[in-house]
Structure 1
Amino acid sequence: MNYSWNIGAIIYAFIVCTLAISSNAQSDDEDNEEAEVFRNEDGTSKPVPFFRIYENNDKNNGLPCVLVSMDVDITIEPKRQQNKKTTVSLPMAAHAKGNCGHGFDSRITISWSSFHLSWHFQKSRVSDAWYVDVIELSFNTSDKLLGDLYSEAPSKEFTPNSIVSIRTDDPLTLFLTPIGRSYSCSYPAEVKILDSKKVSRVTFQLRNVRIQPFASMTQRQFGDAFRCPSEAGRRDDTVPFAVGMTLAVVVVGTVGGYAGYRYFKIKKIEYDTME
């Protein structure tokens, strides 16, 4: 019997199987990246508010140019209110409008109730990248989502049914990402700003963020993910391949050792028989 051929076939089959497993693990992760559902640390998953802005505002025929998916909790805290504060969450039923910005700037405004949350994007003039430049929030002080948050505010600062407008004072360079790719981060991030009168503090708690402005694509989905540092540190796409190769080496060593043992044992038997 040709033992060397059988052992070689076994080794080849094991290597193919282990590399196939590692390749499948990597492709499964890539498929999950395109989903509009984020998976939590405990293995559960949840839908995340998702918005698209289309070229020429034509949802039926236009291609998406701005894509935003995120969980947002907005904590509003008026000063001089004895630490009173209220948190409002971005609902799934919110709607969006904006502009594609074929030059250097783009914008999306997400609206619900009296709230309007705007994100302004800029293209870098020194590198092939985009970033968030300005975040704005406006709302009515009498909005039912705020309860009695502003009911006891000093009248000279806020009146019933007044509009509070809040935006970042200095230009941001938030979520710097290569053009053509989407910024992706499931880890929480905070952005804090004050209103123009500096009497209300607003904290944005962001989770499960995926954003892509200046998109030019043939399919209505995000481009390749550019991960935030905290997420990129925990995720390494070379791991499945390395694990597969390690398994292959172990298998080759084990099968090779067994082959050597069988070879010398058979030779010894043949020699003893001849004697």
Structure 2
Amino acid sequence: MELRSFSTMDTARLVLYLLGTVTRLVVMAEQESENLSGLSNNPDKDIFAVRENGTTCLMAEFAGRFMIPYDVLALNGIDLITETASVTLPRGAGVEGRCGPNEAELHIFWANNAYIFRLFFVKETRHTKDPNQKESEIWKINKVQLVYDTSETTHFISAYNPGKHTANSHKLSAFVTPGGRSYVCTAQQTLTLLSTDHQKGVTIALSDIHIQPFDIQNDFMFSDSYKCITDQHEQLEETLPLVLGLVLGLIIVITLAIYHFHLKLTAQEPQLPRDRSLYKNM
């Protein structure tokens, strides 16, 4: 009896394992990722898309640059000095992703996996002060990770003790966007990560950004955009002089119109003499 019970438990575990494996394979088969950078007119800009069940569920466009510090042995052969590698996100990078109702991920890799750049997205519900709308949805980036290999000699020249390192963000809340909308930012956005390489600070600069990880309504098309604060300020700075010029011009026109109207009201008609004898002297 004990042997039969043990065999039944093993069979059940095996069935569950096989079901889990099949489920994972089905999910992987239903999700696919594409690099669409060839569609961009900007040679420095990459376009990535993750599709699920034949529909786009995550899209991201941006140009990326990574400033990575690393150690180099000094000329005296004893001391270490810090150099900085400037790595640009190339066109044609590999991409993988995962979509979910409240969480999503985008993984970008290149140079034979010497670099792996990961973005993690989360959707949240927040309470508002508006009595008509007590709750609202937002999405944001809550984690950024960069895995890099200093043994890659194209950017890391004579790196000391080369190897793989991982740089992670800390308590990140970036690109906060209202639910159902895409995030747009032309201005450069900078993120700083802490690396396992002696806690060095890795700087990530993203620009020309357009991202949407949730609630994409149409295939390969972003929803209505939400501009970042920097772009909003720049747009205001560009628009403000024009608005002030129009207001000033309007004030001048109104002033001239009032002045002209005032002259008409105060102008006196020439007085004709009532005594006809005075006409002779005119």
Could you say which TM-score interval applies, normalised by the shorter chain? 0.5 to 0.7
**Counterpart in 2 of 1:223?**
224
Of structures 1 and 2, the one with the larger relative CO (CA 8 A, separation 6+) is: 1
Among 149, 152, 157, the residue aligned to 1:148: 157
Aligned to 2:145: 136
User: Distance in 2 between the 1:201 and 1:260 partners?
Assistant: 70
Q: What's the offset of the Cα at 1:64?
A: 5.6
Q: Deviations 1:181-238 (Å, cap 9, x if unpaired)?
A: 415251452413212x64654222334444332142337246323323x444444287
- Partner residue of 1:105? 103
Q: Quick one: structure 1 residues 274 and 89, their matched pair in 2 at CA, closer, same or farther if it must change by over 3 Å?
A: same
Q: Unpaired runs of 5+ in structure 2?
A: 1-39, 73-78, 127-135, 274-282
Residues 109 and 137 (structure 1), Cα distance of their counterparts in 2 relative to 1, 3 Å cut = same
Q: Is the 8 A contact 1:51 1:96 kept in 2?
A: no
Amino acid at match of 2:106: I
State the partner residue of 1:191.
192
Shift of 1:133: 1.4
Between the two proteins, the alignment pairs up a number of residues equal to 213
Structure 1 unaligned runs (5+)?
1-35, 38-45
- RMSD (Å), alpha carbons: 3.4
TM-score by length of 1: 0.62
Alpha carbons of 1:175 and 1:221: their partners in 2 closer, same or farther (altered >3 Å)?
closer
User: What is the match of residue 19 of structure 1?
Assistant: none
- The residue aligned with 1:68 is 61
Could you report, residue by residue, the CA deviation over 1:131-180 in whole angstroms, capped at 9, with x for unpaired residues? 11111222344324234343x31xxxx5xxx5x24142644212222221
Alignment partner, residue 214 of structure 2: 214
Q: Return the alpha-carbon distance in structure 1 between the equivalents of residues 80 and 156 of structure 2.
A: 14
Distance 2:188 2:155 in 1: 27
For residues 271 and 56 of structure 2, the distance between their equivalents in structure 1, rounded to whole angstroms, comes to: 80
Question: 2:192, 2:201 within 8 Å by CA — same for their partners in 1?
Answer: no
Aligned residue number for residue 252 of structure 2: 250
- Decide whether aligned partners of structure 1 residues 178 and 143 sit closer, same or farther in structure 2, where only a CA change above 3 A counts: same
Equivalent residue, structure 2, for 1:117: 117
What amino acid sits opposite 1:65 in the alignment?
A: L
Question: Secondary structure, in 3 states, of the residue corresponding to 1:172?
Answer: coil
Distance change (3 Å), C-alpha of 1:246 and 1:97? farther
CA contact (8 A) 2:167 2:195 kept: yes
Kindly tell me: are residues 188 and 67 of structure 1, through their superposed partners in 2, closer, same or farther at Cα, counting changes over 3 Å? closer
Shift of the 169–249 alpha-carbon distance from structure 1 to 2, 3 Å rule, reads closer
Q: Is 2:84 the partner of 1:85?
A: yes
From the superposition, tell whether residues 98 and 78 of structure 1 become closer, same or farther in structure 2 (CA, over 3 Å): farther
CA distance in 2, matches of 1:89, 1:170: 23
2:5 paired residue number: none
Larger Rg: 2
Q: What secondary structure, in the 3-state scheme, does the structure 2 residue paired with 1:110 have?
A: strand
Shift of 1:82: 1.9
Contact 1:66 1:215 in 2 (8 A): no
Instruction: Name the % identity.
Output: 15
> Which structure features the higher share of strand residues?
2
1:88 Cα deviation after fit = 1.0
SS of equivalent residue, structure 1 residue 85: strand
| Alignment CA distance shift 1:274-1:211 (3 Å) | farther
Could you report, residue by residue, the CA deviation over 1:47-97 in whole angstroms, capped at 9, with x for unpaired residues?
Answer: 641323143285xxx346322323323323248842133221122443433
**In structure 2, how many angstroms separate the alpha carbons of the residues matched to 1:71 and 1:248?**
45
Please report the TM-score for the alignment, with normalisation by the length of structure 2.
0.61
Separation (CA, whole Å) in 2 of partners of 1:264 and 1:95: 80
